[in-house]
Amino acid sequence: MNEIEFARAHLGDYRVQGAEIKPRLCPYCRGGQHGDKYTFALNMDKHTFICLRGSCGKQGHFSQLLRDFGELSDTVYAPLVTRSYVKPQPPKISREGAAMQYIKQRGISAETAAAYGVGGNTQGEVVFPYYETPEAFQTGQPVFIKYRPARKLEKGERKARREKDTKPVLFGMHLCQPENGMLYLFEGEFDAMAGYQAHGGNCVSVPSGCRDFTWLDTCADFLSQYDRVAIIGDNDAAGQEMVRALSDKLECAVCVPDFARYGTSKDANEILYRQGAERLSAIMDGVHTAETLGLLNIAEIAPVDLSSLPRVLSGLPSIDRMCGGLLMGDLCVWTGKRGEGKSTILTQLALESVEQGENVCVYSGEIPANRFRYGVYLQAAGELHVCERMDERAGRVTQFVPQEIQRRIDRWLNGRFWLYDNRIAGADEAESVLRAFEKAYRRYNCRVFLVDNLMTVHTCRSERDFYQSQADFTIKLRKFAEKHGVLVHLVVHPRKTGGQAVRDNDEVGGLSTITNIACAVFNMRRLDENEAAEKGCDSAISCLKNRAYGETGNVRLHFLAKSRRFVEPGQKEKPFGWEQQAAPALPSEPPF
């Protein structure tokens, strides 16, 4: 629930002034004896509230407001991603020419194309404008535009292009009316138009294929109006994967078609073209609630190639060879003595995940948010872009990332790297973290999660139940990973080992349940001077458990203090994606 949703539910009459929501009466004091008006303000940027009546004076974080009004028990506050979208110029669309001829060839009528505002341009392309409301459609003000060649594509040819930095929403929103019932969600614009032409009603399409779920955030309010959504995906592996993913992400009832009724057709447009409108309408009418099965017949389970499973590479070649990468759906436990580099290696792995297209969510119970950001940005920048200055007071050299580099890293990580807000934690922080992770998965499509560390997650007040509650939390993390097909890293301190390195799973702290249910267990350690000289490195990762392949062993590492990265001997720092942006000259002054 965000601030606007809370206001609608609990604040009665209110007005919005800039970033502040101001109800007519304070929800706590109701204006007092004299009914003072507009003394309460809820700030949507800072996520704080305050009542200016002296005898009331209620103030705090938005999470406290949710808790006081019973909204935090089954949901968690998730702010909207702060993004600035570019509003495209209204397109000049022709209802004649090659584009309209191509649309007609695909079985789409001129009336259907006009309803969606689709036509052609002078470059021989079909133009798909995306309108959020009927008013925007009437005034010709789209928020997103796509183009595709008005012809059959060649093999390997780019299917479509889009206006840069525009707002990705659902195609056809302006035609939808919640009172008409179910929302039909298609994988492409032509499919949505085919569904509308054959069946009528609420037919929309995703903006950018079956793996981009950015629209779940931009269309959250729109989607909340529907109790049921039918996902009419393509009859191929990617389309059915989209059905499975959205069945998991959408909070409403999800319906799916009987793909067997597609016959030899791949998608809705092809069904309309080859089998007719009546057949497509029947398929849409015949959708059924997506089933959740509790038992599987092993003989019916498809064989798997481990190398084809979804995974994230660590960026450390020896670890990736040993483990085959870090598999989605797994829980990885990381241990090691204090100060040995557990947190550092994992934030490096988090950046590697972002580099590979995965969004990340991190719980860090030991480090304040601003210092956590400092370390992550040093790693993201790399030694080449980290500058140094003398801290005269402390008498030591410190590192910093120049402002222009920080801005480029900001753009790279914006909306892709999320940090749990420690200020919202209640008595049972474990449940709060799990709820935040659920939100991060559903709203922001985060698929890599990090808990650093188990000791700082407050699970209960009873010392007697301390270890059992830690084990219970770990089990919930494993189930979360399995349920959503995501990767979870968990940091667990070792037992007291008399100053020796952790050698096996039994030396990991807490109940044995923690390492028993983990899919992989790693120990991070720094080497003393003698061992470092002997082995030619200063750090090492030991793989103590590897459920996927069974292989265990040690990996030698060097620590680069300037950028806080670990690399294997002979390996160079890799550049991250932000460096592909324009590279202005570096400022020489620190950003303070």
Segment 188-195 shows an average pLDDT of 97
Are residues 34 and 116 located together in one domain of the fold? no
Are residues 105 and 64 located together in one domain of the fold? no
Are residues 247 and 371 located together in one domain of the fold? no
CB 539 within 8 A of CB 525: yes
Residue 252: CATH number of its domain: 3.40.1360.10
Residue 54: CATH number of its domain: 3.90.580.10
DSSP run (H or E) holding 389: strand 387-391
- Helices marked H in 333-428: 342-355, 369-381, 403-413
Are residues 46 and 112 located together in one domain of the fold? no
Are residues 370 and 507 located together in one domain of the fold? yes
Q: Which residue, among 199, 198, 149, 142, has the nearest Cα to 171 in the 3D structure? A: 142
Is residue 304 a part of any domain in this protein? Answer: no
pLDDT digits (tens, 9 = 90+) for 33-43: 888 899 999 99
- Give the span between the Cα atoms of 228 and 451, in whole angstroms: 34
- Give the span between the Cα atoms of 101 and 110, in whole angstroms: 9
Are residues 351 and 232 located together in one domain of the fold? no
Q: Which residue, among 183, 159, 191, 185, has the nearest Cα to 271 in the 3D structure? A: 191
> By residue range, what is the domain housing residue 280?
98-289
Are residues 153 and 276 located together in one domain of the fold? yes
Residue 506: CATH number of its domain: 3.40.50.300
pLDDT of amino acid 497: 52
Is residue 301 a part of any domain in this protein? Answer: no
Is residue 501 a part of any domain in this protein? Answer: yes
Question: Does the pLDDT value for residue 60 go beyond 80?
Answer: yes
Are residues 157 and 52 located together in one domain of the fold? no
Are residues 406 and 513 located together in one domain of the fold? yes
Is residue 449 a part of any domain in this protein? Answer: yes
pLDDT digits (tens, 9 = 90+) for 133-174: 999 999 999 999 999 999 998 888 888 999 999 999 999 999
Are residues 55 and 179 located together in one domain of the fold? no
- How close are the terminal C-alpha atoms of the chain, in Å? 35
Are residues 228 and 362 located together in one domain of the fold? no
Mean confidence (pLDDT) of the chain: 88
- Give the span between the Cα atoms of 314 and 334, in whole angstroms: 13
pLDDT of amino acid 75: 47
Q: Which residue, among 66, 91, 193, 213, has the nearest Cα to 141 in the 3D structure? A: 91
Question: Does the pLDDT value for residue 205 go beyond 80?
Answer: yes
Question: Does the pLDDT value for residue 298 go beyond 60?
Answer: yes
Q: Predicted confidence band at 293 (pLDDT cuts at 50, 70, 90)?
A: very low
Is residue 386 a part of any domain in this protein? Answer: yes
pLDDT digits (tens, 9 = 90+) for 384-404: 999 999 999 999 999 999 999
Q: In this structure, is the dihedral angle defined by the CA atoms of residues 276, 281, 284 and 285, taken in order, positive or negative?
A: negative
Is residue 352 a part of any domain in this protein? Answer: yes
Is residue 585 a part of any domain in this protein? Answer: no
Q: Which two tokens stand for residue 107?
A: 């079985």
Work out how many domains the chain is built from and give that number.
Answer: 3
Is residue 256 a part of any domain in this protein? Answer: yes
Are residues 521 and 472 located together in one domain of the fold? yes
Q: pTM value?
A: 0.63
